[in-house]
């Protein structure tokens, strides 16, 4: 079973802590492996745990890392149990020209040092809680926002044409993203119907940054709804 333990691309549903554990148990009982992709959800981004799989109460057999691992420098990693790596080495020949190079490793180590020195996991929790307060206020103001969810510096709003029927407002979401882009703020969309705003800012993101983001989003929503 290969999953992002926080299901980011699926719209990061509000699953309770420990939600993934029963699925992991079933996979292992069947002789399978749990592979967690922590590229988007790792390194403290949830604000509650350093890895999202901890939040879901599982320990993966294999974990993949990348992108934020070195703050833009191209580096990725794979972590696995020793027996899995040993079995892989028996059956396959793997070679990587740049694997383990000291420059990439130094960049990745610097990121870990910065996360610890600046207490960025706690910042993700503090700023993320504030961001969802701002989003909840917008939800109370605009019926187009059907749901608000997230943890730490992963948060967003699901756009719906009808709060009862939950009809996706996919085209409207596209318009909001484009309007925000023209205002200098880059957002994206995800979920089955591509109607969920995905907001995943850098780990040093502050409350002042959040105010700029949501003040702008408030203005864009107001103007966009008046044009419908």
Closest by alpha carbon to 106, among 117, 118, 114? 114
Mean pLDDT computed over 200-219: 97
CATH number (3.40.50.10190, 3.40.640.10, 3.90.1720.10, 3.30.310.10) of 2-117 reads 3.40.640.10
The CB density around residue 227, as the number of other CB atoms within 10 Å, is 7
List the chain domain ranges: 2-117, 120-226
Q: Name the class of domain 120-226.
A: alpha beta
**Which pLDDT tens digit goes with each residue over 73-107?**
999 999 999 999 999 999 988 888 888 899 999 99
Q: Report in angstroms the alpha-carbon separations of 183 from 194, 214, 219.
A: 21, 12, 10
Percentage of residues of the chain with pLDDT beyond 70: 100
pLDDT-derived band at 67, boundaries 50, 70, 90:
confident
Average per-residue pLDDT in the chain? 94
**Which pLDDT tens digit goes with each residue over 140-189?**
999 999 999 999 999 999 999 988 888 999 999 999 999 999 999 999 99
pLDDT for 11 equals 86
DSSP-assigned letters across all residues of 149-176: EEETTEEEEEEEEETTTTEE-HHHHHHH
Q: Report in angstroms the alpha-carbon separations of 116 from 53, 54, 199.
A: 20, 18, 23
Q: Whole-model pTM?
A: 0.90
């Amino acid at each position: 079973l290969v999953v992002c333990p926080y299901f980011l691309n699926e719209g990061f549903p509000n699953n309770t802590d420990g939600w993934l554990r029963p699925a992991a148990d079933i996979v292992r009982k069947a002789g399978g492996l749990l592979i967690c992709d922590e590229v988007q959800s790792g390194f403290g981004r949830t604000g509650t745990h350093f890895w999202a799989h901890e939040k879901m109460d599982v320990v993966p057999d294999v974990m993949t890392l990348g992108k934020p691992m070195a703050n833009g420098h191209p580096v990725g990693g794979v972590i696995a149990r020793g027996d899995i790596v040993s079995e892989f080495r028996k059956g396959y020949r793997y070679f990587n020209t740049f694997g383990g190079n000291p420059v990439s490793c130094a960049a990745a180590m610097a990121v870990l040092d910065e996360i610890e020195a600046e207490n960025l996991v706690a910042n993700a929790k503090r700023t993320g809680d504030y961001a969802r307060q701002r989003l909840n206020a917008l939800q109370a103001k605009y019926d187009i926002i059907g749901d608000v969810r997230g943890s730490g510096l992963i948060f967003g709003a699901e756009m719906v044409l009808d709060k009862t029927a939950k009809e996706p407002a996919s085209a409207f979401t596209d318009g909001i993203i484009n309007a925000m882009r023209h205002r200098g703020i880059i957002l994206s969309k995800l979920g089955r119907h591509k109607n969920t705003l995905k907001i995943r800012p850098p780990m040093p993101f502050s409350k002042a940054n959040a105010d700029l983001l949501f003040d702008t989003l408030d203005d864009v929503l107001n103007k966009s709804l008046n044009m419908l």
